[in-house]
């Protein structure tokens, strides 16, 4: 099993759910370069492991999912090293976004700056009722660098995204739900169980079809791809899968589907 210094990697063989916990509680799980590298390594390990079928990403403790980037580390960067840091963060977070295995962010507190960006890279977001979201980078003379300007706009629209990015306002979980930034808000004590139940529902579905849906939705936002053509291509490909044969047979035979790997 993979071991890490800044996160906990906890697969559950029975459910197929991997929980990745950002584990720098003394820093409110703030992201530094080493942690970002470990997120990428953990995601790659999960994608390579056929026993892992779905992923939950959360933070340790009750105060923070990820309270932002490690400011002491950022202070030492220049224009060249800063660009490379952004590229490394974007590469790690794109690995999450492009995963064909569903990824849910269990946001258990502050999700600010890089923490908000990490949550937005996940396919679904569930927030505890004490969660807070924001992109406060302009307070530091910076801008989001890990995809925040792009994903926030995709999720809540240009006008509101610009307002949050330009004012650096921090919003509560109920406002994040109203804006469409999160899918659900639950009491903190129920957060992980709710995420596991939600992910377990997804994992009863055809895994190849789930991955294709994620790919199609991502294609809508990719300027180098044609979303409708991607959908048509993958729709056709689905007819050649074992999942399709099992799903249609189960429907016609009036029984639950037993998809391979479920």
Q: Tell me: the pLDDT tens digits for 145-169? A: 999 999 999 999 999 999 999 999 9
Residue position matching structure tokens 């403790």: 61
Q: Is 242 a catalytic residue?
A: no
In the chain, which ranges are E strands? 7-12, 17-22, 54-59, 64-66, 103-107, 110-112, 124-128, 132-134, 170-172, 184-186
Where residue 69 falls among pLDDT bands split at 50, 70, 90? confident
Catalytic residue, candidates 137, 224, 242, 246:
137
pLDDT number for residue 206: 97
Q: What token pair was written down for 78?
A: 């220049």
Question: What contacts 12, CB < 8 A, 6 or more positions away?
Answer: 18, 19
Asked if pLDDT for residue 214 goes beyond 70, the answer is: yes
Mean pLDDT in residue range 197-223: 96
| Helices and strands counted in the chain (H then E) | 11, 10
pLDDT number for residue 260: 83
pTM for the predicted model, two decimal places: 0.95
Catalytic residue, candidates 38, 62, 98, 117:
117
Report d(CA 184, CA 144) in Å as an integer. 24
191 burial level (CB within 10 Å; 0-12, 13-18, 19+): buried
Evaluated on CA atoms 109, 114, 119, 120, the torsion sign reads: positive
pLDDT number for residue 2: 67
Say which DSSP state 141 is in.
T
pLDDT number for residue 71: 87
Q: Which residues of 10-29 are buried (b: 16+ CB within 10 A; e: fewer)?
A: ebeeeebbbbbbbbbeebbb
Chain-centroid distance, C-alpha 89: 13
The percentage of residues in the chain with a pLDDT greater than 70, rounded to a whole number, is 98
Report d(CA 129, CA 132) in Å as an integer. 9
Q: Is 117 a catalytic residue?
A: yes
195 burial level (CB within 10 Å; 0-12, 13-18, 19+): buried
C-alpha angle 122-126-113 in degrees, rounded to nearest 5: 60
Q: Tell me: the pLDDT tens digits for 89-110? A: 999 999 999 999 999 999 999 9
In degrees and rounded to multiples of 5, residue 227 shows phi and psi of: -60, -45
In degrees and rounded to multiples of 5, residue 74 shows phi and psi of: -60, -35
Q: What token pair was written down for 83?
A: 């660009």
């Amino acid at each position: 099993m993979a071991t890490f210094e800044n996160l906990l990697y906890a697969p559950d063989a029975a459910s197929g759910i991997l929980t990745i916990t950002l584990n720098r509680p003394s820093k409110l799980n703030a992201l530094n370069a080493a942690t970002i590298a470990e997120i990428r390594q953990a995601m790659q390990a999960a994608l390579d492991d056929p026993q892992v079928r779905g992923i939950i990403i959360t933070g340790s403790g009750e105060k923070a999912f990820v309270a932002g980037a490690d400011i002491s580390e950022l202070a030492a960067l220049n224009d060249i090293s800063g660009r490379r840091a952004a590229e490394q963060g974007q590469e790690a977070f794109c690995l999450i976004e492009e995963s064909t295995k569903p990824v849910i962010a269990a946001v258990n507190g502050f999700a600010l700056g890089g923490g908000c960006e990490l949550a937005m890279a996940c396919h679904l977001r569930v927030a505890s009722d004490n969660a807070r979201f924001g992109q406060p980078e302009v307070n530091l003379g910076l801008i989001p660098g890990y995809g925040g300007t792009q994903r926030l706009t995709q999720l809540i629209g240009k006008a509101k995204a610009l307002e949050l990015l330009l004012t650096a306002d921090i919003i509560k979980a109920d406002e994040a739900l109203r804006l469409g930034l999160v899918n659900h808000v639950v009491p903190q004590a129920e957060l992980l169980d709710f995420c596991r139940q939600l992910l377990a529902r997804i994992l009863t579905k055809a895994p190849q079809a789930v991955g294709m849906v994620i790919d199609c939705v991502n294609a809508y936002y990719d300027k180098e791809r044609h979303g409708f053509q991607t959908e048509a291509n993958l729709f056709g490909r689905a007819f050649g899968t074992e999942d399709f044969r099992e799903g249609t047979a189960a429907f016609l035979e009036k029984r639950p589907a037993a998809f391979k790997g479920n």
